[in-house]
């Protein structure tokens, strides 16, 4: 278990959501395996619940039929956001969860080792395959003291982001310890582990203690509890200490979750929209605090407040105890329990609008409005600001109130459809297209630089989402038309005209979500390699999974010497991959210059890349 060495994990649970699940299911099907081999596998329909055309409902039916046949539990649209519902009903301390969603680490709040990966890795795990990764370094985040009034779990994780940045967690696991933990409920811990993903961390982990047991009891699931804590003599690669007493309400300013400032420095800024919800902050306790703040008040006339509970359980409980009535009376617009505005599915802000959101990401354009300014804040800051019409430090509300932990959550699993393990015919709408497959890796790599991009390019830049594009997720030829659209709308046309080529990236290329379409759709357009200063972990793995060669400049300064349109070549690429060469010589055929690139692959990744991707590899293994 040395950091940087490949390890393989036996996966207990898997999770996909509809945006990644259609593809994962098509991939599972293509492997020719009839039943899932995990202890528990789930599909949550929470991303594309808007039905503006036939595509989404058709996909939901496909997912429901497939789930039933192959042994996956199906969570119906309206039942809630995957990570919130999973925490409530399925997460188990000490188990390993692999999820095709970058915020899968949310379940770490309950002591589960939960990792976000591409859908293909999940499909492989569903088929009984191990999950292989480089052993991460472990950062100990020690929390001491207790939060001051009006500071929240969101402020803790914003402080982690302020210190570590959106790159500081790359190839690490954030393990939380310290006496501050005992003041945090499981949903608060889950807010922290959720946004650990924004640091690039592989996972974030809290111990499983008495508080975990209380939560599980209230969910009627105490039988899955077991105590888990760090060894007394545990040694860490890095330590970070946060004194909770000193934290104040914070906000991540546009356009990055690590651009963190105290709310009081931003006070008085006029706002146009407030969005409360998402898998980060939509638990019962979050929404109860919001309801308390809104009670007897009205949303400011210049502000649109939209709100979505994270799960039907939360929604039901707010309805039962009258809090929902307070929220409605305030003038808030209540949405269904789903990702909604977080993924750009409706509720885009006005042009150049300022939107305060309790979500986890504020990348430019993700809200659906290119010039909107999105600030990430706690539910308390969001609700206080919705009433005042300006950015408001919740401490100005005076004495804080206490929302007691519920002794019993409202439990109703009727929106899950449990598998029938039948052979029923799968209904496939016209939006479900066959999976594009790649040939095995070419002997030599040769191609034109189709696009040169800067640092911190996200998967949203590479394969944007939103109401227009997401419904095409199982129709790759149609979806590929939008590859790199926010950066260069001509990219898809050029890639097709040149019959593919190479993408040049800066630092932290492919950060953000686990969206495997950000590798699959470029592969369809003929992208054969990405050469960058550095590549985000999940995207690096996704590139390999789809047969695209991920290369890192040995000398980052080489990036400046290569231009868009240059032709590059690496002779003997396939042989180098198979041999395990870590340093390769590339040639810029346009300038005549030679340069070195790094290719770090495990044994398995070498074989996958050589075969042209995981699907080809698995098919060969199973035949």
Active site residue 46: yes
According to CB under 6 A, which residues from 34 to 63 bind ligand F3S?
47
In angstroms, what is the minimal distance from the CB of 197 to ligand F3S?
A: 8
Tell me whether residue 152 or residue 278 sits nearer to ligand F3S (CB atom).
278
Distance, in Å, from the CA atom of 294 to the CA atom of 298, rounded to the nearest integer, reads 7
Question: Is residue 342 at the binding interface for ligand F3S, with CB under 6 A as the rule?
Answer: yes
Distance CA 191, CA 205 (A): 12
Nearer to ligand F3S, 359 or 601 (CB): 359
Give the CA diameter of the chain: 72
For the question of residue 101 being annotated catalytic, the response is yes
Given candidates 75, 86, 360, 474, which one binds ligand F3S under the rule CB under 6 A? 360
Q: Out of 13, 47, 103, 537, which one is annotated catalytic?
A: 47
Identify whether 494 is a catalytic site residue: no
Q: Is the peptide bond before 255 cis (omega within 30 degrees of 0)?
A: yes
Q: Determine contact, residues 353/272, Cβ cutoff 8 Å.
A: yes
Exactly one of 256, 330, 513, 534 is catalytic; name it. 513
Which one from 312, 515, 517, 537 is the annotated catalytic residue? Answer: 515
60 catalytic, yes or no?
Answer: no
Alpha-carbon distance of 176 to 166, in angstroms, equals 18
Confirm whether 357 is a catalytic residue: no
The span of 216-224, 337-345, 473-481, 568-576 binding ligand F3S (CB under 6 A) equals 337-345
3-state helix, strand, coil in the chain (%, to 5): 35, 20, 45
Distances (CA, A) of 525 to 476, 529, 549: 10, 12, 14
* By the rule CB under 6 A, 343 interacts with ligand F3S: yes
Residue 44 CB, shortest distance to ligand F3S, in Å, is 9
**Which residues inside 80-99 make contact with ligand F3S, applying CB under 6 A?**
81-83
Tokens for 327, please give them.
């929220």
For the window 291-330, what string marks contact with ligand F3S as x by the rule CB under 6 A? ----------------------------------------
Q: Which stretch binds ligand F3S (CB under 6 A): 51-59, 77-85, 372-380, 568-576?
A: 77-85
Q: Which of 13, 312, 357, 361 is catalytic?
A: 361
Taking CA atoms, 297 is separated from 171, 281, 328, 330, 603, in Å, by 46, 22, 11, 6, 61
Q: Give the pairing of strands 113-116 and 96-100.
A: parallel
Give the pair of three-digit tokens for residue 595.
Answer: 């340069």
* Stretch touching ligand F3S by CB under 6 A, among 79-87, 413-421, 528-536, 615-623: 79-87
> Does the footprint of ligand F3S cover residue 166 (CB under 6 A)?
no
Q: What burial letters (b/e) apply to 341-371, b meaning 16+ CB within 10 Å?
A: bbbbbbbbbeeebbbbbbbbbbbbbbbbbee
Q: What is the 3-state secondary structure (H, E, C) of 536-547?
A: CHHHHHHHHHCC
Task: Decide whether 68 or 194 has the Cβ nearer to ligand F3S.
Answer: 194
Q: Which of residues 275-294 bind ligand F3S (CB under 6 A)?
A: 278-279
> How many residues sit in the footprint of ligand F3S (CB under 6 A)?
13
The residue from 18, 46, 65, 155 that is catalytic is 46
* Residue whose C-alpha is closest to residue 487's, from 514, 513, 506: 506
Residues in contact with ligand F3S by the rule CB under 6 A: 47, 81-83, 101, 103, 278-279, 339, 342-343, 359-360
Residues annotated as catalytic (active site), given as ranges: 46-47, 101, 361, 513, 515
């Amino acid at each position: 278990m040395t950091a940087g060495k490949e390890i393989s994990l036996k996966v207990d649970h898997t999770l996909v959501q509809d945006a990644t699940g259609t593809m994962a299911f098509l991939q599972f099907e293509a492997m020719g395996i009839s039943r899932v081999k995990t202890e528990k596998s789930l599909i949550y329909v929470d991303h594309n619940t808007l039905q503006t055309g036939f595509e989404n409902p058709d996909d939901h039916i496909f997912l429901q039929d497939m789930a039933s046949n192959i042994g996956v539990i199906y969570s119906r649209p309206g039942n809630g956001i995957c990570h919130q519902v999973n925490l409530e009903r399925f997460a188990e301390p000490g188990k390993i969860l692999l999820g095709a969603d970058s915020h899968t680490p949310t379940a770490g709040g309950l002591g589960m080792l939960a990792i976000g990966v591409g859908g293909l890795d999940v499909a492989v795990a569903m088929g009984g395959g191990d999950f292989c990764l480089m052993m991460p370094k472990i950062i100990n985040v020690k929390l001491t003291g207790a939060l001051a009034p009006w500071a929240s779990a969101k402020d803790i994780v914003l402080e982690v982001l302020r210190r570590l940045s959106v790159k500081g967690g790359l190839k690490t696991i954030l393990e939380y310890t310290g006496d501050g933990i005992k003041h945090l409920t499981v949903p608060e811990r889950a807010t922290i582990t959720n946004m650990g993903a924004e640091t690039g961390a592989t996972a974030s982990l809290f111990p499983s203690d008495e508080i975990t047991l209380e939560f599980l009891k209230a969910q009627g699931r105490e039988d899955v509890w077991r105590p888990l804590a760090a060894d007394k003599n545990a040694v860490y690669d890095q330590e970070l200490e946060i004194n909770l007493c000193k934290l104040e309400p914070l906000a991540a300013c546009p356009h990055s979750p690590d651009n963190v400032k105290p709310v009081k420095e931003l006070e008085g800024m006029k706002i146009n929209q407030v969005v409360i919800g998402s898998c980060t902050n939509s638990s019962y306790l979050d929404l109860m605090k919001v309801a308390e703040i809104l009670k007897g008040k009205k949303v400011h006339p210049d502000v649109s407040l939209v709100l979505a509970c994270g799960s039907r359980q939360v929604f039901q409980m707010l309805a039962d105890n009258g809090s929902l009535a307070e929220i409605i009376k305030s003038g808030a617009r209540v949405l269904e329990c789903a990702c909604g505005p977080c993924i750009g599915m409706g509720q885009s802000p006005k042009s150049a609008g300022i939107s305060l959101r309790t979500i986890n990401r504020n990348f430019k354009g993700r809200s659906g409005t290119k010039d909107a300014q999105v600030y990430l804040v706690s539910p308390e800051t969001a609700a206080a600001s919705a009433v005042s019409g300006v950015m408001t430090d919740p401490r100005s509300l005076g004495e804080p109130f206490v929302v007691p932990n519920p002794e019993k959550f409202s439990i109703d699993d009727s929106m899950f459809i449990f598998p029938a393990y039948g052979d029923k015919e799968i209904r496939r709408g016209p939006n479900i297209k066959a999976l594009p497959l790649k040939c095995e890796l070419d002997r030599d790599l040769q191609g034109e630089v189709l696009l040169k991009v800067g640092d911190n390019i996200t998967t949203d830049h590479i394969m944007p989402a939103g109401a227009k594009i997401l419904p095409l997720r199982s129709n790759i030829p149609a979806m590929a038309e939008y590859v790199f659209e926010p950066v260069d709308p001509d990219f898809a046309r050029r890639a097709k005209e040149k019959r593919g080529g190479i993408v040049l990236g800066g630092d932290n290329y492919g950060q953000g979500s686990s969206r495997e379409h950000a590798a699959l759709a470029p592969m369809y357009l003929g992208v054969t390699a990405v050469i960058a200063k550095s590549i985000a972990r999940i995207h690096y793995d996704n590139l390999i999974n789809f047969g695209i060669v991920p290369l890192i400049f040995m000398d980052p300064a080489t990036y400046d010497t290569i231009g868009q349109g240059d032709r590059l070549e690496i002779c003997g690429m396939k042989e180098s991959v198979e041999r395990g060469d870590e340093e390769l010589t590339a040639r810029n055929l346009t300038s005549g210059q030679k340069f070195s690139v790094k290719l770090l692959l495990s044994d398995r990744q070498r074989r996958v890349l050589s075969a042209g991707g995981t699907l080809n590899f698995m098919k060969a293994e199973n035949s």
